[in-house]
A and B are shown apart, each in its own frame.
Chain A
Amino acid sequence: MHRFANPNRFLSIAKPLTPILLWPGLLLVLGACWWGLTQVPAERLQGDTVKIMFVHVPAAWLGMAGWTGIAVASIIQLVWRHPLAGVSARAIAVPGALFAGLCLVTGSIWGKPTWGTWWVWDGRLTSMLILFFLYLGYIALTNASSEKGNVSRVAAVFGIVGAVNIPIINRSVVWWESQHQKASITLGGSSISEAYLWPLFASALGFSLLFGAIVLMRMRAALAETRIEARMRRMAED
């Protein structure tokens, strides 16, 4: 793991990897959205609104995966003091918050025609809203940190503690009565028709590749800013 502690070694991988994630991700997202919007039939009960699934589910997945990534990076930062762990956690925060927010907004848009309301204070929606607020708190904490590009120990601990919410979101529809449907895709299989499953899989994969490209871009920007700051400091001392 410490092989990549050297920023130059990390950049030698991140630079070619960014377009490898970006372009297939963009193509997959565009293709999956076209597929989902034009080729998939309306569902018997929900009608066309079921197509919102192709953006809502990937947003939910990335919102939760993003915080899981922050928690893992925070553990690596605190335990092994890996210099890039904090940089990666910080790079995940804004896109993670964006996708958590998109999950809430697209879910609300789906809820109005399906449930007859934009919002209900049930376990799934409330725990997802808490995740969004956790992201905002994490972003505020990391921005307040004096460590350029990296995150403070307080923010890292916050990242680990906040991960408690991830299994709560996942199990909320089982533990509490909820308007939200139970999990349709589990390790044991899927209850979704194949007509919806494949475009959903393509969309989730495409958005995941885009998320990876965005995180790499933000890490590269953070590392470049660290180099700029170090160079400016040296120039001021000369």
Chain B
Amino acid sequence: MTHADFVFAAFAITALATLWILIGSWLAMRRSEALANDLRDKK
């Protein structure tokens, strides 16, 4: 393996993990806030 392979692996793993937590947190927030607003409107 060349040095570039190690650099690519480190950046790729960081990018994937960051995207995973970012998208997961955003979807969870959107879903929960939408459901909370729906329930509030059903009063």
Q: Give me the interface of A with B, judged by CB distance under 8 Å.
A: 29, 33, 37, 42, 47-49, 51-52, 55-56, 59, 94-95, 98, 101-102, 105-106, 109-110, 112-113, 207, 210, 213-214, 217-218, 220-222, 224-225, 227-228, 231-232, 235
CA of A94 to CA of B14 in the docked complex: distance in angstroms? 15
Q: Is the CB of A95 within 8 A of B7?
A: no
Q: Is the CB of B3 within 8 A of A218?
A: no
CA of A224 to CA of B29 in the docked complex: distance in angstroms? 8
Which among B6, B28, B31, B33 is the interface contact of A112 at CB below 8 angstroms?
B6
B contacts with A: majority SS = helix
Q: What chain A residues lie within 8 Å of B17 (beta carbons)? A: 98, 101-102
Q: What chain A residues lie within 8 Å of B33 (beta carbons)? A: 220-221, 224
CA of A29 to CA of B17 in the docked complex: distance in angstroms? 14
Given contacts A214-B21, A220-B29, contact A110 B35 (CB under 8 A): no
Beyond contacts A102-B17, A221-B32, A227-B36: 19 other A-B pairs, Cβ-Cβ < 8 A, are: A33-B15, A47-B3, A48-B3, A49-B3, A49-B6, A95-B21, A95-B25, A98-B17, A105-B10, A105-B13, A213-B22, A214-B22, A217-B25, A217-B29, A220-B29, A221-B33, A224-B32, A225-B32, A227-B40
Q: How many A-B residue pairs have CB under 8 A?
A: 90
Interface size on B, residues (CB 8 A): 26
Q: Is the CB of B7 within 8 A of A221?
A: no
A contacts with B: majority SS = helix
Scan residues 1-43 of chain B and give those whose CB is less than 8 A from a CB of chain A.
Answer: 1, 3-4, 6-7, 9-11, 13-15, 17-18, 21-22, 25-26, 28-29, 31-33, 35-36, 39-40
Q: What chain A residues lie within 8 Å of B15 (beta carbons)? A: 33
> Can you name 27 A-B pairs with beta carbons within 8 Å?
A37-B7, A42-B3, A48-B3, A48-B7, A49-B7, A55-B11, A56-B10, A59-B14, A95-B21, A101-B17, A102-B13, A105-B13, A106-B14, A110-B10, A113-B6, A210-B18, A217-B29, A218-B25, A221-B32, A222-B32, A224-B32, A227-B36, A227-B39, A227-B40, A231-B36, A231-B39, A231-B40
Q: What chain A residues lie within 8 Å of B25 (beta carbons)? A: 95, 214, 217-218, 221
